Amino acid sequence: MPSVDTLIQTIRTTGAGASCTPDLAKGPWEFDRVTGYGPGSSMGDVIPVGAPRQGALPEQYRLAANDELHARIRAAKETLGSRVVILGHFYQRDEVVQHADFLGDSFQLANAAQTVPEAETIVFCGVHFMAETADILAKPTQNVILPNLAAGCSMADMADLDSVEECWAQLEEIYGAEPDADGRVPVIPVTYMNSSAALKGFCGRHGGIVCTSSNAETVLEDAFARGQRVLFFPDQHLGRNTAKKMGVALEQMPMWNPRKPLGGSTSEQLQDARVILWHGFCSVHKRFNVGQIEAARAEFPGVRVIVHPECPMEVVDAADEAGSTDYIRKAVAAATEPTTFAIGTEINMVNRLAAEFPQHTIFCLDPVVCPCSTMYRIHPGYLAWVLEELVAGRSPNVIEVDEVTAADARLALERMLALRPKPMPGDPAPASTAHAPAPRSREGVADAVVASGGPVGSAAASDSVAGSTAAAPNVEV
């Protein structure tokens, strides 16, 4: 099966098929010069003010043929040896993933890096918030590098600290700060892993917690036990889909639009709210729609439709199942009979599943070739550049979270890790009632979940491995 990059280049040169934006065919170093080319997959998205910009890549990398770039990456990696570890996200393009030491979701990867303590540098081939999380969990002696600073996340960029603090102040005016008779505080902030370190820190400071797409329900249960309601950011869809599954009425989930007074709701609506949903979404997952599911069912009777919970509610409702990338992968791996799967998540991951499980028919619900275009900005040219800079004794593109923010963010992450996750398909039965203990130190966070990577198509994504316990936290983005 051709890689997503090959498909996009074919579309560009032959006019065949369709890609979500013609700009994807441009060299990633050109993106900064494309007016209006934003952080997500939509041409309508704009790069937020203050978002990191990548400087021009030296010409020798821009002009090099792919074969030369791969040879230079391999040579630099060999020279650096165990001093460097390369992490590749599930949504990353094959041309980069083939050089990764680990393949997984963002949190798995941040933890995987900790299994290589001798690595002085962690090269994170994902997006900006992922590199920040890796830095938060890294040892003080380790540097985290994002090969292209323009690899942001459209969803994470939709909630910034100023807007969230402004929202919080307005909510405090409405609810006050006193707990109710049961000791529950007025609001618990919950941030999705796909958010800036600043927002994770905000949650840490305000009794809040981080969630992933695989433990969102568990996290909300904890938040409802400690608070009367939840402020959920930045992904409205994950918040809505999860709370709806838990029985929260849609009328009790007002949206918070940071550009409107009281987020666009009345104070009565906010008084009645159980979950206040931030007005954010993933540009990739919002592309999925019910029509695609209907078309898949018409063409493949009996098809099993699995979508990511970042998809809109009506898509999740129309699918057979919804779950994180880890859930999706385990569901496919657990199918004992040849099965047709229509998957609603990023196309690089779907194509990799199709290559890894040839006994099944696996395709992406979206017929348009649309990768996570910000992650796509990490071209092999950038990887070659950062590795050769490291060989030369320089460290470009270091992502560093200040220590105060990092300490607060770790609090919110540790609250999440202290919770027992719900089992997923393919999970082994717990060997005991014990579960991964809540980490209490920077080092203690390290060994929760590890993903083992390898060449494209044979990459073994992680089954949860948490220390020596079977009931590991299934953390997923």
In degrees, rounded to 5, the angle at the alpha carbon of residue 238 between the alpha carbons of residues 375 and 53 is 30
What spatial distance separates the first Cα and last Cα of the chain, rounded to whole Å?
Answer: 25
Q: Which of residues 323-342 bind ligand SF4 (CB under 6 A)?
A: none
* Annotated binding residue 89: yes
Rg (CA), the chain: 21
For residues 272 and 252, the answer to whether their CB atoms sit within 8 Å is yes
Among 98, 194, 292, 325, binds ligand SF4 (CB under 6 A): 194
Q: Which is nearer to ligand SF4, 99 or 286 (CB)?
A: 286
Site for ligand SF4 in 369-408 (CB under 6 A): 372, 374-375
By beta-carbon proximity to ligand SF4, the closer residue of 103 and 303 is 103
Number of residues forming the site for ligand SF4 (CB under 6 A): 14
195 binds ligand SF4 (CB under 6 A): no
Q: How far apart are CA 204 and CA 416, in angstroms?
A: 11
DSSP letters, 93-132, are: -HHHHTT-SEEE-HHHHHHHGGG-TT-SEEEEES-HHHHH
Question: Would you say 188 or 282 has its CB closer to ligand SF4?
Answer: 282
- H-run or E-run covering 275: strand 275-278
Interface mask toward ligand SF4 for 228-247; x: CB under 6 A: --------------------
Q: Binding to ligand SF4 (CB under 6 A): which residues in 22-51? A: 40
Is position 70 annotated in a ligand binding site?
no
Report the amino acid identity of residue 407: A
Binding flag, residue 196, ligand SF4 (CB under 6 A): no
Say whether residue 127 binds ligand SF4 (CB under 6 A). Answer: yes
**Binders in 134-153 for ligand SF4, by CB under 6 A:** 153
The answer to the question of whether 424 is labelled as a binding residue is no
**In the complex, what is the shortest distance from the CB of residue 238 to ligand SF4, in angstroms, rounded to a whole number?**
10
Asked if 151 contacts 190 with a C-beta cutoff of 8 angstroms, the reply is no
Q: Which one among 94, 346, 408, 414 touches ligand SF4, defined by CB under 6 A?
A: 346
Of 477, 464, 475, 467, which is closest to residue 429 (Cα–Cα)? 464
If we measure between CA atoms, which residue out of 340, 296, 295, 286 comes closest to residue 316?
286
Q: Site residues (CB under 6 A) for ligand SF4?
A: 40, 91, 127, 153-155, 194, 282-284, 346, 372, 374-375
